[in-house]
Amino acid sequence: MKKKRLVNLASKGFILLSALSLLSVSVMAFANPQAVMDLVNVQLNNTDAFSSIRGVYGGVGMTLFISLMYLMLRDTQKGLLFLCLLWGLYAVSRTITIFSEGALGDFGNQWLVTESVFFLFAFVLAIANRKPAATL
């Protein structure tokens, strides 16, 4: 029983950590889209560019935050599976870049490792958190 409670708390904590990390970028994007792009040394030079960063990093990030908070409270297992997809596909995207455009810089490499580790955490927690299959 203690193991199940510990796995549940770790799962909710990991979902919360992920949600808050996405929220921080979302708030930054709403307040100052250029600050987000400064992380990768890209200059925004027109209002459409600012709008796009606010939309993708701000609006989509806020949607992800709200969805993760809902899943954390209502269906932790689905929240973990969602994070497997999110962090896994982030890592896959960076890996595609390596093969398509070449080596990543320090920022990209750090986030490839972070996203891969987050994927593994979500995967392990999802396995540990799953409900046993019903017997017939």
pLDDT at residue 131, as a whole number: 78
Residue 136 domain-assigned (yes or no): no
Domain count, the chain: 1
- Residue 87 confidence (pLDDT) above 80: yes
The residue type at 7: V
Contacts of 62 (CB under 8 A, 6+ apart): 23, 26, 30
Task: Report yes or no on 114 lying in a domain.
Answer: yes
In a domain, 59, yes or no: yes
The closest alpha carbon to 70, from 60, 79, 57, belongs to 79
* Position 70 in a domain: yes
Backbone phi and psi for residue 44, each to the nearest 5 degrees, phi listed first: -85, 130
Q: What is the DSSP letter of 41?
A: T
Other Cβ atoms closer than 10 A to 48: 9
Query: What domain range is 82 assigned to?
Result: 2-129
Please report whether residue 87 resides in a domain: yes
- Residue 57: per-residue pLDDT: 96
Q: pTM for this one?
A: 0.91
Would you state the pLDDT for residue 8?
95
Q: How remote is the C-alpha of 118 from its chain's centroid? A: 8
Return the sign of the alpha-carbon dihedral for residues 46, 21, 123, 94: positive
Least confident of 3-12, 82-91, 127-136: 127-136
CA-CA distances (angstroms) from residue 47 to 54, 131, 132? 10, 49, 52
